């Protein structure tokens, strides 16, 4: 397959698309959205056919990896049909989903059959009360059941995602690692990103760096630098004596912009070139003005890449740098 035709001004080739299929979610995680979120009217959300048209345009331009995100992608009706169409694309090396796990007890087998290769499942706490506090939903048992359903469905790589916050869940770092090791799962620890205004905590106080997380893990486990890569921003370490890989996503302490190979499309059809910038291109308006014009869509994507910034500038102070919540952008 030829190299990606999507090249930004800094020579980075875009081979990875994160495609949001909905802004809705059945959880209300405190770092991701407010309790009283106002979701986009359904008419403003891309149809399944439009989502496939976007994915098709990116694939034709050399994108090899697609991660389906939300909100919570598995609450989108008809999603399995879209996944089957994407799973049938031989050009794709990887089709993955980021999910909170709540729908996996019923959907895991269908996702595997559709061609989804990898799952990322959010899990910030193993304590029921704390899980309910962080997600504003008392559904830890449902998520744990979903993890087991995914394992039983035959997924070869399942990764947990944990956003670590000092004083809120950082005392569970080792418990989460042990949980992953016992089940042959991978896990990534994520520094909270300053997206959207939150009232549940002060980010400059709860910030916990990846270096600190790794130090705590190394107090119990031997970590060996790994060559494992999924095309995303995680830097991986192998837990000696186990199958578990531990990733660290460090937008603050270890900026990963230099190797950025991804863009995002929101559920409303906005092409987001950088998570840390507000600018976006309205693909939905273009597609609805010119339905079926795939060449025009591809040209718009190629031209848009010339506006991709070199890096983001996240800070840990209280100033909101990007107004939109993560749930509006897509994982």
Which residues participate in the annotated binding site for GTP? 18, 67, 98, 159, 262-264
Residue 320 lies in a domain: yes
Which stretch of 17-21, 53-57, 256-260, 307-311 has the lowest confidence by average pLDDT?
256-260
Residue 188 lies in a domain: yes
pLDDT tens by residue, 79-138: 999 999 999 999 999 999 999 999 999 999 999 999 999 999 999 999 999 999 999 999
- The residue assigned the tokens 């952008």 is 329
Residue 8 lies in a domain: no
Residue 59 DSSP symbol: H
By residue range, what is the domain housing residue 247?
16-328
Mean pLDDT across 42-63: 97
The most distant pair of C-alpha atoms in the chain lies apart, rounded to whole Å, by 58
Separation of first and last alpha carbons in the chain: 27
What does the CA dihedral 235, 238, 243, 245 come to, rounded to 10 degrees? Answer: -20
Angstrom CA distances, 167 to 77, 196, 208, stand at: 37, 21, 9
Closest among 238, 310, 240, 248 to 274, alpha carbons compared: 310
Asked whether 322 and 195 are in contact (CB, 8 A), the reply is yes
pLDDT tens by residue, 221-255: 999 999 877 666 778 999 999 999 999 998 755 55
pTM of the prediction?
0.88
Residue 9 lies in a domain: no
Asked whether 136 and 100 are in contact (CB, 8 A), the reply is no
Residue 2 lies in a domain: no
Task: Classify each residue of 319-331 as buried b or exposed e, where b means 16 or more C-beta atoms within 10 Å of its C-beta.
Answer: eeebebbbbbbbb
Which residues participate in the annotated binding site? 18, 25, 29, 31-32, 67, 71, 98, 122, 159, 193, 257, 260, 262-264, 274
Which residues participate in the annotated binding site for [4Fe-4S] cluster? 25, 29, 32, 257, 260, 274
Q: For residues 153 and 109, what is the distance between their CA atoms, to the nearest angstrom? A: 5
Q: Is 240 helix (H, G, I), strand (E, B) or coil?
A: coil
How high does pLDDT run on average in the chain? 89
Q: How many structural domains are present in the chain? A: 1
Residue 6 lies in a domain: no
Residue 262 lies in a domain: yes
The CATH number given to whatever domain includes residue 28 is: 3.20.20.70
Which residues participate in the annotated binding site for S-adenosyl-L-methionine? 31, 71, 122, 193
> What was the pLDDT predicted at 148?
98
Asked if pLDDT for residue 153 goes beyond 50, the answer is yes
Residue 129 lies in a domain: yes
């Amino acid at each position: 397959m030829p190299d990606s035709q999507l090249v930004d001004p800094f020579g980075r080739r875009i081979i990875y698309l994160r495609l949001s299929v909905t802004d809705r979610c059945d959880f209300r995680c405190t770092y991701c959205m407010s309790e009283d979120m106002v979701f986009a009217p359904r008419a403003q959300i891309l149809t399944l056919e439009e989502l496939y048209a976007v994915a098709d345009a990116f694939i034709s331009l050399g994108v090899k990896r697609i991660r389906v995100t939300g909100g919570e992608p598995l609450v989108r009706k008809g999603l399995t049909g879209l996944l089957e169409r994407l799973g049938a694309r031989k050009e794709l090396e990887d089709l993955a989903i980021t999910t909170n796990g709540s729908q996996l007890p019923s959907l895991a087998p269908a996702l595997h059959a559709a061609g989804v290769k990898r799952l990322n499942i959010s899990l910030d706490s193993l304590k029921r009360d704390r899980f309910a506090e962080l997600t504003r939903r008392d559904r830890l048992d449902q998520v744990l059941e979903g993890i087991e359903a995914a394992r039983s469905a035959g997924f070869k790589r399942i990764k947990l995602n944990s956003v670590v916050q000092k004083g809120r869940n950082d005392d569970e770092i080792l418990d989460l690692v042990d949980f992953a090791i016992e089940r042959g799962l991978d896990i990534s620890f994520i520094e909270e990103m300053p997206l959207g205004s939150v009232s549940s905590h002060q980010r400059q106080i709860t910030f916990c760096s990846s270096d600190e997380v790794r130090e705590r893990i190394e107090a119990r486990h031997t970590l060996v630098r790994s060559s494992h890569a999924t095309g995303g921003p995680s830097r991986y370490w192998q837990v000696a004596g186990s199958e578990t890989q531990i990733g660290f996503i460090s937008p603050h302490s270890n900026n990963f912009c230099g190797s950025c190979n991804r863009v995002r499309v929101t559920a409303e059809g906005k092409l987001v070139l950088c998570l840390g910038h507000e600018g976006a291109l309205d693909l939905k308006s273009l597609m609805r003005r010119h339905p079926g014009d795939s060449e025009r869509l591809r040209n718009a994507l190629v031209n848009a890449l010339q506006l991709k910034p070199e890096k983001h500038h996240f800070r840990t102070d209280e100033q909101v740098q990007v107004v939109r919540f993560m749930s509006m952008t897509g994982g």
